[in-house]
Structure 1
Amino acid sequence: MHPPRNLLPFLVTLAAVGLLSLMDAVMKLAALAVGTYVTLVVRSGFALAMAGPLYLATRRGWPARPVMRLHIVRGVVIAGMSFTFFWGITRLPLAEAIALSFTSPLVALYLSAVLLGETIARSAIAASLLGLAGVATIAWGRIEAPAADGGAALGIAAVLTSSLLYAWNLVLQRQQAQFAKPAEVATFQTAVSGLVYLLFAPWFFALPGSASLPWIFAAAAMSVGGAMALAWAYARAEAQALIPLEYSGFLWAMLFGWLFFREPVSAPTLVGAGLIVAGCWIAAPRKPPEMTAA
């Protein structure tokens, strides 16, 4: 039995967030082994090799100038967002880093109103407030823990910087999804961000060891799959309705942080997660979302 059509964008978004959370854990493994910059350069190459042929086989011409501009802007934003995030998670527990990144969906809810003209529903506001309360609870638990070292402080700063860029990325993603198919979105975001990374190759690139390549390849596959799934979902439902589902990434981060790194989960973390899940439930549609693409 298939789920109702109006729920499909939400189910796809939840699955994509889980896949990308697993990718975060795999990227952390690779970044700890060979460095964040090298990992991102190699992942971009793998991802482009996966998404590019699919796009070339299905494209109906070169993107129009306004669409190309969206591709370029989002690719540059993703380059900065990805580097600061993955550099930050090498210095923080995965779940705590994801918690800090939840400032971006909160900002993006209101950016979608300013830049896209979407109306902010009361349920979306309530969801964002519950999510914020969950993040504040987790942050309080971190403050009460033993003092963080300088590396942790830099990691927090990096993840917060990434979260601001991610808020912009979420709104660009909604705009992009109105004009481009998932394969095109995945191809151009990968190509543009990869070109940005290559600008720094003369100073920072070194060939990674062969042991890390399978992990980076797996991360690339998850990145492409997650990007295409999100592009499909954002073309079929409003950004303000899908963005609160990003909070479910915290639950995935708790799971993968424990499985991959044996990172413990504190009581404030569990309370915060409960508030975040409640916010996601409130954000779920009570009527069919706007269908913007077939």
Structure 2
Amino acid sequence: MNSEALAHREHIVRGMLAALGAFFMFTVMNVFAKLLSENHSVIEIAFYRNLIASLPFLFMVFVLGRREILVIRSKPSLVGLRAVLGAVSLMTTFLAFSLMPMAETTVLLFTASLFLPVLGVFVLGEKVGPWRWSAVVIGFAGVAVMASPTGAVNMLGVTIALVAALMHASLQVVLRYLGRYESPETVTFYFMVIGTLVTALPLPFVAVTPTLDEIPLLFGVGLSGAAAQWLLSTAFRNAPAAVVTVFNYSGIVWATLFGWLIWNDWPLPHVLAGAAIVIASNALIIWRESRRRPITGARVRAKF
């Protein structure tokens, strides 16, 4: 294997590992948000999430002297748009989790994977081959196995979750595009700072003073959100959108586990069967990407 092929494979593997870590941290963030939603508005939770998540970046910039994080190289308007849409998407996601159980909400958010490959093709000009399409289909089949009827349908919750899923897919495409021009730290920093300002505007009307017991949860939602955003930015910088999205399915495993541990939501046999299918789809992508040849030449176009 030549050095170019080895470097390409290392980038893909790095992107996949970052994606796996990102979706785990997103689940952790949603667990904290669901716990907080019992007493706090999702707007307030999003504010604390963005504010606390901004602190490590402010430390790096003003204490460690990492001023390059502040530098937007070429796409300032798109960085700002991604931050504003991201703040709205975050509140929508927290609202969906406050209305429905962890696993059920996570399954509905997986519909973003149906939009993402299509957006990747038509917006980013990415080439999505049959192996990756197959992995997405296999992953969704695992989600379908898990999504057995559980009683009355919360139509408001389902609608909010589907809206959040569509926003997730659109934002991930924007993030993939920005990854070619801006560093993951810069994109994440402005997402946190602008998101803090956006969610602060309605705060006087919805804020409730947190108790001492809730302070660790507030720090948890912020720090896990910061880690998830940075890992996701890194993932899209190193791997195609259709590869990264497959790892989104691992979130159902984490959601089921946390639901079991915290809310005594015991996994049923169909959940375990669906999880096995999801893991198989991830394994398929990892195996396929380890055997792919690097793609040479400029084949990416964008419509931003």
Q: What TM-score do you get using the length of structure 2 for normalisation?
A: 0.85
Query: Displacement of 1:168 after TM fit?
Result: 0.5
1:272 aligned partner: 274
Q: Gaps spanning 5+ residues in structure 2: where?
A: 1-8, 297-304
> Residues 197-276 of structure 1 correspond to what in structure 2 (within 5 A)?
197-276=199-278
Q: Secondary structure at the match of 2:267?
A: coil
Asked if 1:91 corresponds to 2:84, the answer is: no
Which of 130, 134, 139 in structure 2 is aligned with 1:122?
A: 130
Query: Displacement of 1:34 after TM fit?
Result: 2.3
> 1: distance between equivalents of 2:207 and 2:294?
45
Query: Displacement of 1:288 after TM fit?
Result: 5.9
Change (3 A) 1:289 1:39: farther
Change (3 A) 1:146 1:232: closer
> 2: distance between equivalents of 1:168 and 1:24?
20
Asked if 1:105 corresponds to 2:113, the answer is: yes
2:72 aligned partner: 63
Paired residue type of 2:100? L
1:195 aligned partner: 197
Change (3 A) 1:176 1:290: farther
Query: Displacement of 1:277 after TM fit?
Result: 2.0
Query: Displacement of 1:55 after TM fit?
Result: 4.2
> 2: distance between equivalents of 1:55 and 1:235?
22
Paired residue type of 2:177? Q
1:34 aligned partner: 40
* Paired residue total: 282
Change (3 A) 1:95 1:203: same
Change (3 A) 1:191 1:126: same
Query: Displacement of 1:58 after TM fit?
Result: 1.9
Paired residue type of 1:287? R
2:300 aligned partner: none
> 1: distance between equivalents of 2:183 and 2:225?
16
C-alpha contact (below 8 Å) 1:101/1:160 kept by paired residues? yes
Bigger mean CA offset, 80-89 vs 273-282: 273-282
Paired residue type of 1:13? A
> 2: distance between equivalents of 1:86 and 1:27?
6
> Residues 4-83 of structure 1 correspond to what in structure 2 (within 5 A)?
5-6=10-11, 7-55=13-61, 57-60=65-68, 62-64=71-73, 66-83=74-91
Change (3 A) 1:160 1:121: same
> 1: distance between equivalents of 2:58 and 2:295?
30
Paired residue type of 1:241? V
C-alpha contact (below 8 Å) 1:51/1:224 kept by paired residues? no
> 2: distance between equivalents of 1:231 and 1:17?
12
C-alpha contact (below 8 Å) 2:43/2:206 kept by paired residues? yes
Bigger mean CA offset, 164-173 vs 188-197: 188-197
Q: What TM-score do you get using the length of structure 1 for normalisation?
A: 0.88
C-alpha contact (below 8 Å) 1:33/1:212 kept by paired residues? no
Query: Displacement of 1:289 after TM fit?
Result: 6.1
> 2: distance between equivalents of 1:289 and 1:207?
53
> 1: distance between equivalents of 2:294 and 2:58?
31
> 1: distance between equivalents of 2:294 and 2:21?
18
> 2: distance between equivalents of 1:30 and 1:202?
18
Query: Displacement of 1:290 after TM fit?
Result: 6.4
2:5 aligned partner: none
